[in-house]
Amino acid sequence: MLHPVWLRSFVTVAACHGFSEAARQLGLTQSSVSDHVRRLETEVGRRLFVRDTHSVSLTPDGEAMLAHAGLILQAMQRAERQFRAPTLRGRVRLGCSDDVALGPLPTVLAAFRNAHPDVELQITIGMTGRLYEALDAGAIDLLIGKRRLGERRGVPLFTGRLEWLARTGTVVDLERPLPLILVAEPSVSRAVVLDTLAQTDFRWQQVCTSSSHAGCIAAARGGLGITVRPQYLAARGLAPPVNAAELPVLPDVEFIALAARRLSRPAQTLMQLLFDSDLRGSWMGE
């Protein structure tokens, strides 16, 4: 067995290029450090150092052991930090827009649950506008949702590109008003679409309104009209219209995290995990 004390002495000797300095840094006697290295060499049956009166250098086997020892000690440090830290308990009330819930959120939730199994998660899925209201009312602790580019509230996580979607094979009749399927107010996606169309010569007609993106997807699959959603969300049975290039170009929207003024330790921990995860900056919906 590769004892961690032996490995730590070995790594320190390799870094210091000598036993005396390694012993000083470890707070041990030189004979103790020498004994650790000797026992490690005996355990693996290989010579790890070449010693002379002036220097200590690694053998090829020592170089290989150094790579393994570094990884082993790092893994042990991570385990010690996790199990020495006080167990996190409590509850986090997370509000999330359904497009994020269907996209990158599950990976973050799994990481949080694995690290803090005693924390209860309460997840509210809804339109971003409603989630802002819930946060302001103290009904949720954290919010993950959308904001228009240029707005300042919240901390940016990633940017999503909106695209037009319809039943596969749909050709939009551009001589008629665009048949829109949109989520109900208050909705950032809805506002973005209507603001974009208002700056064009296109006419439109709202043929269906839903309280969720899932409802919009169902209506679009039924052939009622065209809807929008971020590009990273696959929607079986839907695709950009055949003549999508002739439709107005939709802008990007920012996805943000926003916290209540006072957060519990579990909520603070989840917030930090969001900021440290791949969700921030690197998630482009690929």
CATH number, domain containing residue 59 = 1.10.10.10
Any domain includes 286: no
Residue 58 lies in domain: 4-84
In a domain, 44, yes or no: yes
Q: What is the pLDDT of residues 69-108, one digit of tens each?
A: 989 998 888 787 767 766 788 999 999 988 777 776 788 8
Look at residues 59, 84, 109 and tell me which one is the last residue of a structural domain. 84
Please tell me whether residues 165 and 239 are part of one structural domain.
Answer: yes
Residue range 166-176: mean pLDDT, rounded:
94
In the prediction, which pLDDT does 283 show? 46
Inside any domain, residue 219: yes
Asked whether the predicted pLDDT for residue 241 surpasses 80, the reply is yes
Computed over every residue of the chain, the mean pLDDT equals 86
Alpha carbon 168 to chain centroid, angstroms = 31
- Whether 30 is covered by a domain: the verdict is yes
Residues 137 and 11 in one domain: no
Residue 194 has pLDDT above 80, yes or no: yes
Distance of CA 200 to CAs 66, 191, 193, 203, 247, Å? 65, 15, 11, 8, 10
Tell me: do 77 and 45 sit in the same domain: yes
Of the CA atoms within 13 Å of residue 132, those in its CB half-sphere come to 13
| 163 and 217 part of one domain | yes
Would you say residue 5 has pLDDT above 80?
yes
